Amino acid sequence: MTAPAELSPTLQLACDLIRRPSVTPVDADCQAQMMNRLGAVGFQLEPMRIEDVDNFWATHGTQDGPVLCFAGHTDVVPTGPVQQWQHEPFEALIDADGMLCGRGAADMKGSLASMVIASERFVQDYPDHRGKVAFLITSDEEGPAHHGTKAVVERLKARNERLDWCIVGEPSSTTLLGDVVKNGRRGSLGAKLTVRGKQGHVAYPHLARNPIHLAAPALAELAAEHWDEGNAFFPPTSFQISNLNSGTGATNVVPGELTALFNFRFSTESTVEGLQERVSAILDKHELDWSIDWALSGLPFLTEPGELLNAVSASIKDVTGRDTQPSTSGGTSDGRFIATMGTQVVELGPVNATIHQVDERILASDLDLLTEIYYQTLVRLLA
């Protein structure tokens, strides 16, 4: 373990945040620590506790000019079996291989530390910078996400706040820091399908209607359907059945009902309404007695090459020597809520190889490089 006095300011802050067991939606005073530091360099602070979720909005600068927002979350997923970890998950130590170990190191307390330190340095070096530097931080990204970034964005919209650019600190890198940034995400549309039949005795199938037999051809057709071609930024829309449930537990009873859970990860080439209509048409084609409950987790969004992506890519190149690859792969993030403000959104953070895993860890030195990337991006856009 590296002695605390030998750590950079970024690593000191990252370790402090990791040592706070902020499992969703608990914040464990992570945000208080961040706000204390930002307030000390002149940021205007606005805590926003919504229901059981801690959030905050902080700004530095003037109303004139563009707004660059850093967004992220202080909450982490549960550790899983603690005995399976090589080190205590909230101990926050740097091992002999130079890896910063602990829950949240990659997702995403390391990024939060880099954002804060980069912003402290920037507003001290450029006190009269143009526009605003902003922070939008939540403790409800890993959970339901109803009272976190989504709710804060609704408040910001209601008072006509503007966000031109946003960097979300999600762990975007694949193998080396900065090799990939996310410039968009697919939409996520989930559904619970209920197909009704008629319960009966298996020995008298003519007196029953088996919903498993009835639904199987329709589900097979849905799974085989080609939904769209994707485009230059997105792969084709995918459909996956994640759960099937039917039966009474007895081998001699035809069940009366089947439920199926499925999900679309969809590109900008498809719409929610279009996918729903096509699903309905296939189910009706098979003459099923069906109903469906839809759940939209987020719409697809895309930041095409422009000021933000160019600034981030140039900063990565200067700091690491690497050419970054924009990508829209992966799951959803809070960027989907921020993008509804018409904001250019890019996700940039550490290597994501161990996120949500036992023994989550990242290369400690990457956080100092990430701080410099964030700082140079601020300079390019707001100095």
Residues with catalytic function: 75, 141
Give Cβ neighbours of residue 60 (< 8 Å, ≥ 6 apart): 38, 41, 42, 43, 44, 119, 123, 132, 133, 134
Contact (Cβ atoms closer than 8 angstroms) between residue 273 and residue 224:
no
Angle made by CA atoms 381, 382, 383, in degrees to the nearest 5:
110
State the pairing for strand pair 55-61/132-138: antiparallel
> What per-residue string of b and e applies to 47-61 under the rule 16 or more CB within 10 Å gives b?
ebebeebbbbbbbbb
Peptide linkage before 108 cis (omega within 30 of 0): yes
Write out the DSSP string of 118-160: HHHHHHHH-TT-SSEEEEEEES-SSS--SSSHHHHHHHHHHTT
Residue 209 β-bridge partners: 198
- Which single residue is written with the structure tokens 């091992």? 95
Exposure of 69 by Cβ count < 10 A (0-12 exposed, 13-18 middle, 19+ buried)? buried
Structure tokens at 119: 């912003």
Ramachandran assignment for 160, one of left (phi > 0), alpha (psi -120 to 50 degrees), beta (any other): left
Give Cβ neighbours of residue 277 (< 8 Å, ≥ 6 apart): none
| Residue 15 one-letter amino acid | C
- Which single residue is written with the structure tokens 């910078």? 129
Give Cβ neighbours of residue 37 (< 8 Å, ≥ 6 apart): 13, 116, 120
Q: What's the N-to-C CA distance of the chain in angstroms? A: 38
> What per-residue string of b and e applies to 349-359 under the rule 16 or more CB within 10 Å gives b?
bbbbebbeeeb
